[in-house]
Each structure stands twice: as C-alpha cells, then as structure tokens.
Amino acid sequence: MSFSTPITDRYFEDYAKGAVHQFGSIAVEEDEVIAFAKKFDPQDFHTDPDAARSTIFGGIIASGWHTSGLMMRLYADHYLSKVASLSSPGVDELRWLKPVRPGDALSVRVTVLDAVASRSKPDRGIVTSFIEVLNQIGDVVMSMKAVNLLLRRP
C-alpha cells in the first residue's frame, strides 16, 4: 500500500490504522559501518574486519545504532510528513534481530498501529507505528514501535 497523498502534503488524517507501507532501499557500506562504530560503538565486530572473523558473527556487522540511523533515513524520507511532523516522544520495543552486514540493502515496512486525535490539542494527533527493517532477502533485522505527533489537516 502507498499513501494517496505526497509526503509534502501528508497530515495526521493520512495515516490510516492498519495500513502497511514499504520503502527502501539503502545500502550498508563497510567504510560507513566502521567509521560509525569507531566513533560511537567501538567493538571489534563493528570496527575490525580481521578481529570480527573470530567472533560469533564470523565477520564485521553494523552497530544496531547505525542500523537505527539507516532506518531513520528511510523513515524520514518516505514516511514522516514534511509539513506536519512535530516530534516523537520516543520509541518502544527496539530489537536488533539479525546481524546487518556490509553489502546488505535495507528497506522498511511500517504498519500504522494506531492513529488517535488529541483531545487536549485538537490541531494534532498521535500516530503509533510498528517499524520493521528488512534486508535484501526479506529477513527482519530490526523492529521497533515509534510514536509520532503530527498536525491535523488545516
């Protein structure tokens, strides 16, 4: 399913409960995996291809935080409204389910779990989404629930 309105004209009302949207892809590059990990998650299985071979992963893998960043790129580019997204109070149930490796191509599948108009602030609503990150063979490598505040259509 795809949205009937473009991201530049998408408001709370366009996020229908039960709708499933899929977007992608984004490439996982080894130099980016290593650079990110050296700065933010300096573990051998993220930063050192030689040392990573002797770990349980048998090679270098992306940090879960890097995978989250790649997901966010796709989520912001394709799912979140460019005109109505206000912020997010947080995420729940973040899971890194399978290793993400250089050479993978990731996509996201987003299911709208709930869309509730605010009673206290009638100009906005709250959208809860289940986000799955898939690799090129369709394996779910990461999942989470996100809450977003969105303006209602004027």
| Contact (CB, 8 A) for 129 and 111 | yes
**55: in domain:** yes
Q: How much is the pLDDT for 1?
A: 66
**133: in domain:** yes
**1: in domain:** no
**113: in domain:** yes
What's the pLDDT tens digit per position in 53-86?
999 999 999 999 999 999 999 999 999 999 999 9
**2: in domain:** no
**CATH code of 32's domain:** 3.10.129.10
Averaged pLDDT in 10-residue chunks for the chain of 154 residues: 90 97 95 98 97 97 98 97 96 98 98 97 97 98 98 95
| Residue 57: domain span | 7-151
**56: in domain:** yes
Main-chain phi, psi angles of 56, to 5 degrees: -65, -15
**pTM of structure:** 0.95
**96: in domain:** yes
**20: in domain:** yes
| Contact (CB, 8 A) for 101 and 29 | no
